């Protein structure tokens, strides 16, 4: 990955512009595109022509063969035996979008092949994350002979040992950080096991479930080529995989990008009654979908029932409900999401007040740890993310219920959250997660000790550079370089997300052609037009819009020239297509 950057401007934010790639112009010539495009692709770690072409034109044939995943053949064979022999299989999934989508993929695959199959999703607040012993006992009592985990289980050694003792075979499919000792199972299907490399270690839970469903389908058909109904199902399942990939914020490169691209197309055109009901309730029916729609519109609705109630409803919506039931579930999710938004705002305001009043559970120089008995445990993860954005520190929020605490943690680049929680394990009942996020449980009596330990670990591992607000920019450009064809090509670099962020550019020495104007409700948005006269290029003007930056209208009074940083986008106002800059920062010159 090309990561060498140079600090270019100091202001409200530290601008970091990626170093120019010497081969950008020649690569652009060979690809018949703009050097700006090849520079951005280089910033994403793409230099080889073949690799770039695969990125620009992803194909389903670029997916890695399922058999490359560790133990997937063992898992597929055991599942196929259960299907053939009529053994009852239970799919145990996580309650987030990645887990819910993965459960739906496997459930529908097995159901369409006549399997005796059911699913189990734990209650977020009552049971917590992962496989628990009580649930295992209940599943065994229901007559299940095979237990398959989705997006969980890699650290559940004792509960899965209990499953085996109760007569169930176990298959683990997961993508979270594996412990030193793996659970005892017929198969452990995981893309990131040490010493058992898979070309895409960033494949999330729904992606692993998709690959397992694919391999099961091949085994049941007796050929690598499946029949048409199964092929159609697998194509439709890319939509569910895309939900998990985008919602779980995994790198949107390589195989993940392929599934996201095809899955987004499939979501928009889906005939699946659950997906159609979800899109309609979210106001996206008939819309062209992108990663924003999944990450900030659809995923919160699917997560809402798990955060505010039980995620089993989300699985039902995606796995087996009829049209009428899907409509009712989608409407329920909409109501739950509205309630979730209200509670989230209240907790965020309380958390900010606690920090401003110095009532944190630990010093806030390098990390934030807050706890309250008044907080809803299903929402604190979202609030933790907002605190990270607001204050630029790793954040842990803990909802206290009697003698127990349930926490959610979110991190910043360079600070490995799972490692941090592991370093504080003596204070925790349980924990799990990965580099950027984690979950934990602990006795309420240990919160203060945990907060001090976490703050101490952060003080040793968070550097000043991590805390300094930085705006990472892909390149410096001129207004004339941001032509309509170039920006249209920029949009085709999506879907955007982890490891493939929206392109951000710096444009220097722009003249304000008219006084900035406030727009929107309460004047929270600023709008102005800039021009640029460059000796080697024609003059051009461009409208700039800064959401939440209304105060700039006053700050720029009397200013003639500015440097701007932001994302060039296509504006489709009144059926007229033009280029507009969505601002991220403005510096007076």
Widest Cα–Cα separation across the chain: 80
Six-digit token pair at 11?
């202001």
Q: Regarding the domain delimited by 347-467, which CATH topology (the fold level of the hierarchy) does it fall under?
A: Diaminopimelate Epimerase; Chain A, domain 1 (3.10.310)
The yes/no answer on whether domain 5-53+470-588 falls in CATH 3.40.50.1820 is no
| pTM, to two decimals | 0.89
Q: What is the pLDDT of residue 277?
A: 97
Torsion angle (degrees, nearest 10) of CA 443, 448, 452, 455 = 80
CA 68 to chain centre: 24
Q: Which residue is associated with the tokens 């133990």? A: 71
CA distance 64 to 67: 8
Q: Is 569 exposed, middle or buried (0-12, 13-18, 19+ CB in 10 A)?
A: middle
Selection from 137, 136, 120, 128 nearest residue 319 by Cα: 120
Helix axes 205-221, 228-247, angle to 10 degrees: 170
Angle at 475 between CA 471 and CA 481, to 5 degrees: 130
Q: Is 152 exposed, middle or buried (0-12, 13-18, 19+ CB in 10 A)?
A: buried
- What's the distance, Cα to Cα, between the start and end of the chain in Å? 33
Mean of per-residue pLDDT scores for the chain: 93
Residue 40 DSSP SS3: helix
Residues 315-354 pLDDT 10s: 999 998 899 999 999 999 999 999 999 999 999 999 999 9
Identify whether the C-beta of residue 183 lies closer than 8 Å to the C-beta of residue 160: yes
Residue 552 DSSP SS3: helix
Q: What is the pLDDT of residue 3?
A: 39
Return the number of other C-beta atoms located less than 10 Å from residue 445's C-beta.
11
Right CATH for 65-321 from 2.130.10.10, 3.20.20.80, 3.90.1640.30, 3.20.20.70: 3.90.1640.30
Q: What is the pLDDT of residue 9?
A: 40
Q: What is the pLDDT of residue 129?
A: 81
Q: What is the pLDDT of residue 5?
A: 52
CA distance 378 to 306: 7
Q: What is the pLDDT of residue 361?
A: 75
Six-digit token pair at 105?
């993929």
At residue 482, φ and ψ (nearest 5 deg) are -90, 60
Low-confidence ranges of the chain (pLDDT < 50): 1-4, 7-11
Residues 520-558 pLDDT 10s: 888 999 999 999 876 555 568 999 999 989 999 999 988
Identify whether the C-beta of residue 428 lies closer than 8 Å to the C-beta of residue 447: no
Q: What is the pLDDT of residue 521?
A: 84
CA distance 136 to 121: 11
Where along the chain do its domains lie?
A: 5-53+470-588, 65-321, 347-467
CA distance 259 to 257: 5
Torsion angle (degrees, nearest 10) of CA 543, 549, 555, 561 = -30
């Amino acid at each position: 990955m090309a990561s060498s950057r140079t600090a270019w401007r100091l202001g409200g934010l530290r601008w970091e512009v990626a170093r120019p790639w010497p081969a950008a112009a020649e690569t652009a010539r060979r690809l018949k595109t703009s050097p700006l495009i090849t520079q951005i692709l280089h910033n994403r770690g793409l230099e080889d022509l073949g690799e770039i072409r695969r990125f620009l034109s992803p194909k389903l044939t670029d997916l890695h063969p399922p058999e490359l995943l560790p133990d997937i053949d063992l898992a597929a064979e055991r599942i196929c035996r259960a299907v053939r022999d009529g053994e009852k299989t239970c799919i145990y999934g996580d309650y987030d979008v990645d887990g819910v989508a993965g459960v739906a993929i496997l459930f529908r695959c097995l159901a369409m092949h006549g399997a005796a199959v059911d699913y189990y999703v734990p209650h977020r607040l009552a049971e917590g994350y992962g496989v628990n012993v009580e649930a295992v006992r209940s599943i065994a009592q229901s007559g299940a002979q095979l237990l398959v985990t989705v997006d969980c289980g890699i650290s559940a050694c004792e509960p899965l040992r209990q499953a085996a003792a109760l007569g169930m075979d176990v298959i683990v499919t997961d993508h979270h950080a594996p412990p030193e000792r793996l659970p005892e199972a017929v198969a452990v299907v995981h893309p990131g096991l040490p010493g058992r490399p898979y070309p895409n270690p960033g494949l999330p839970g729904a992606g692993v479930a998709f690959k397992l469903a694919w391999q099961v389908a091949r085994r049941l058909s007796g050929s690598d080529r499946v029949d048409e109904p199964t092929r159609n199902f697998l194509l439709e399942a890319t939509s569910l995989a895309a939900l998990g990939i985008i919602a779980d914020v995994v790198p949107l490169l390589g195989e993940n990008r392929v599934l996201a691209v095809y899955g987004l197309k499939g979501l928009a055109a889906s005939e699946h009654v659950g997906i159609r009901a979800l899109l309609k309730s979210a106001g996206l029916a008939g819309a062209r979908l992108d990663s924003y729609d999944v990450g900030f519109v659809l995923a919160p609705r699917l997560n809402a029932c798990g955060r505010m109630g039980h995620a089993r409803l989300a699985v039902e919506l995606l796995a087996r409900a009829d049209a009428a039931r899907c409509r009712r579930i989608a409407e329920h999710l909409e109501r739950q999401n509205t309630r979730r938004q209200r509670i989230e705002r209240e907790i965020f305001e309380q958390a900010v007040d606690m920090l401003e009043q110095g009532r944190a559970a630990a010093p806030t120089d390098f990390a934030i740890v807050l706890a309250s008995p008044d907080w809803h445990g299903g929402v604190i993860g979202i609030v933790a993310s907002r605190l990270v954005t607001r204050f630029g520190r790793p954040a842990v929020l803990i909802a206290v219920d009697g003698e127990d605490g349930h926490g959610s943690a979110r991190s910043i680049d360079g600070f490995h959250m799972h490692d941090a929680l592991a370093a504080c394990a003596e204070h925790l009942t349980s924990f799990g997660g990965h580099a950027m996020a984690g979950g934990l449980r602990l006795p309420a009596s240990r919160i203060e000790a945990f907060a001090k330990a976490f703050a101490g670990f952060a003080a040793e591992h968070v550097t000043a550079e991590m805390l300094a607000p930085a705006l990472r920019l892909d390149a410096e450009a001129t207004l004339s370089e941001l032509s309509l064809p170039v920006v249209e090509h920029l949009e085709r670099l999506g879907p955007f997300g982890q490891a493939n962020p929206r392109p951000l550019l710096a444009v220097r020495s722009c003249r304000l052609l008219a006084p900035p104007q406030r727009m929107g409700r309460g004047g929270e948005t600023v709008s102005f037009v800039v021009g640029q006269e460059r000796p080697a290029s024609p003059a051009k003007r461009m409208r700039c819009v800064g959401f939440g930056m209304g105060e700039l209208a006053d700050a720029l009074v009397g200013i003639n020239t500015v440097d701007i940083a932001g994302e060039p986008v296509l504006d489709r106002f009144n059926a007229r297509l033009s280029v507009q800059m969505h601002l991220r920062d403005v510096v007076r010159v």
